[in-house]
Amino acid sequence: MYISKKWGICLLLTMLATLFFVGIISISYQQVVFSIFVFIGLLIFLFVNKEKRFVISLPLAFLTGFVLFMVANDFVETMNVSKEIEVILNRLFLVFIIIGIALNHHFFNKKVYWYNEKPNWKNPIVLPFHKINTFWFWLIGIVVNVIIYMSFIVQKDVEYLQQLLLFCIAFSLINAVFEEVIWRGILLSALKEHTSTGYAVITTSVGFGLLHLVIGFSISLSLLISVAGVIYALITLKTNSIYPSIIFHIVINIGMVYSGFII
């Protein structure tokens, strides 16, 4: 009986994650019919399964906020604004997702927790054949990415870099903070508490990658970005703080802007 119940929960969580990922993809590509089926599926699970109702409500809250995010962006596209302003507004509209998840927590009387703590670097990262200090893992990751992006940045002229300075700062800060609060903050902590650490990391990391579809990235590249999500999640969990991943994310964003991947 216990084994049967365990497998039932695993099946439910797998189906929830699948619907969540399909929902992100279909909403990103504005496939209304697929999106409606996703919402119907999640609503059915919500009313049928009382035990996991809060967990089921999380993708529903996220996708509802995501729909509002898309509507806001469609409205901005009708306005006569520069590409830089359009991208910044796009990132600011991520607040709809944050509000959706936060309101969902409030409805279920759950505390909104997002690892708003001072980093604790004492917990090492244990790899298959090696154990590494989390701080050095974090720092090496940043340095490696700086070196990679510098190979692209040095090809740009100084005037180009100067013109993008304000946009680069605004985009990098807003995008890093909002995305990390969503994925490595509220969602990671909630799923970790109510499911398992592995499920929380995989679901938030793949979802994080797929969300990049909305800014024009391909599915293959978006799934590759999911690897970065795993790294951010690992650092957040080991340090019990979201701030190291935010800094890491800011560095990546700066590299992407100056390398020409954003605009």
First to last CA, the chain: 55
Mean pLDDT by 10 residues, the chain (263 residues): 73 96 97 96 94 96 98 94 94 98 97 96 86 94 95 87 93 98 98 96 98 92 95 97 98 93 81
Residue 123 in 3-state DSSP?
A: coil
Contact 61, 104 (CB under 8 A): yes
Position 36: which residue type?
I
> What gap in Å lies between CA 41 and CA 45, rounded to an integer?
6
> What gap in Å lies between CA 205 and CA 230, rounded to an integer?
5
Q: Enter the pTM of the model.
A: 0.94
Residue ranges with strand state E in the chain: 125-127, 130-132
